[in-house]
Amino acid sequence: MKAPLLPPKVAVIGAGAWGTALAAHAARLDLAVTLWANEPEVAEQINRERVNQAFLPDVKLPGGLMASTELDQVLDGQSLVLMVVPSHFMRDVAGRMAPALSPESLVISASKGIEDETSATMVQILEDELQLNSGLELGAMSGPSFAREVALGLPTAVTLAMRSRPLARAVQAHLSAPSFRIYTSLDLVGVELGGALKNVYAIAAGICDGFGLGSNARAAMLPRALGEMTRMAVALGANPMTLAGLSGMGDLILTATGELSRNHQVGFRLGAGEKLADILAGRRDVVEGIRNARSVHGLAQRYQVEMPMAREIYRVLYEGKEPRQGLADLLSRPLKDELDSLTP
C-alpha cells in the first residue's frame, strides 16, 4: 500500500506549551496550522502578538499559525489532527470533537498520560469517544521533546506509532524536518506507555537530586526505573525494545535530568523538604507525573506487576509518606538478580 499524500494543513488541539510548540513547528514547514485554544485570551494573543505568554513565554511564533476557540472551525476540512490536551481533558475534548471530524481523518495523540478512572491510554480514549467515525485512523507520537526547544527549532527526535505503516510514513513525511526527526513504529502500546510512565520516575529522580544524593544515585535509579516501565509495558502487550528507544529510555532520560522538566522540578522541591500543596500553589501548567502516579499504581495492582519505585512515589504523593522513608524502604528491599527487572 502506497503512503497517501496529505493536504498542506494540520489542526492542533490544545494550546499549552507542547501544542503551541508543535503548531509552531508545523507552521515552519509552510503548513496551514489552526490551533485550538481553550482560553480566549490565549487565542487572541497568539493571533495578535504571535506569542503564547501563558504557556510558552517569550517564544515568537511563525506566521501561518492561527488560533481559535471554536472547535468546529478548527476541525473544518482537516484530515490531520494532532491531539495535545492534558490527559485528564482528553475524553471531554474528544467527545466534543466527534461530530465535527471527517470519517477519513488521521488523529494523532501527542499527549502523554493515563486516565485516572479507567487506566486507559490516550489512544484508547480516542477509540472510545470517536468510535462513530468508522474510517478514522489513530496514532500516538512521543519521545524526548521539551516544548520550548521544539518551538525554538532545536534538534529533536520522536516516535510516531500507528497500526498502518503506510499511514505512519505519510504523517512522518508530512511533519518531519532536519530539526524534527520522526521515526515510525507499529507498537502503539509501547510508545504510549513509555511517554506516560516516565513522568512518575522523573519525580523520583527529582527527589533524589533534592536530597543531594549525587550522580551515582541518579544513574542507578534510571535503569531500575526503565526496568519497571518495561515490565509494565510488556505485561500490556508492548515490544520491550520500544522502551529502549526514544519514547521510553530517551524520554525518561530527558524528563528525569533536564532543567525544563516540570516533573523533575516538583520532585526536587519535595526532596528539598517542601510540601506538595505549596509546590503546586499557583501553577497554571500541568505536572502529568502527579496524576500518572495514581493511574500507574492502579495499573500495577490490576495487572499484578511489581513496580516498587512507582509504588513509593504514589505513597509520597497520595498517602503523605515522607520521601526519605520511601527511599529507605526502597533501599532495604531484598537483593535480587538484575535481569529480574525485565520480566513481567
Q: Give the residue numbers annotated as catalytic, written as ranges.
A: 198
* CA dihedral over 138, 143, 148, 153, signed as positive or negative: negative
- Give the three cell numbers for residue 219: 544513574
3-class DSSP string for 1-55: CCCCCCCCEEEEECCCHHHHHHHHHHHHCCCEEEEECCCHHHHHHHHHHCCECCC
CA angle 252, 279, 296 (to 5 degrees): 40
Cβ atoms of 158 and 142 within 8 Å: the answer is yes
Residue 6: other Cβ atoms inside 10 A = 17
* CA dihedral over 47, 64, 99, 96, signed as positive or negative: negative
Cβ atoms of 101 and 107 within 8 Å: the answer is yes
Distance, in Å, from the CA atom of 230 to the CA atom of 243, rounded to the nearest integer, reads 6
- Give the three cell numbers for residue 185: 513504529
Alpha helix positions (H), the chain:
17-28, 40-49, 71-75, 90-97, 122-129, 147-151, 165-175, 188-211, 215-235, 240-243, 251-257, 262-271, 276-280, 288-303, 308-318, 323-331
- Going by the DSSP 8-state scheme, the letter that residue 248 receives in this structure is I
Cβ atoms of 196 and 225 within 8 Å: the answer is no
Which has the closest alpha carbon to 10: 94, 97, 98, 78?
Answer: 78
DSSP letter string, 70-94? -HHHHHTT-SEEEE-S-GGGHHHHH
Distance, in Å, from the CA atom of 196 to the CA atom of 151, rounded to the nearest integer, reads 22
* CA dihedral over 52, 262, 24, 190, signed as positive or negative: negative
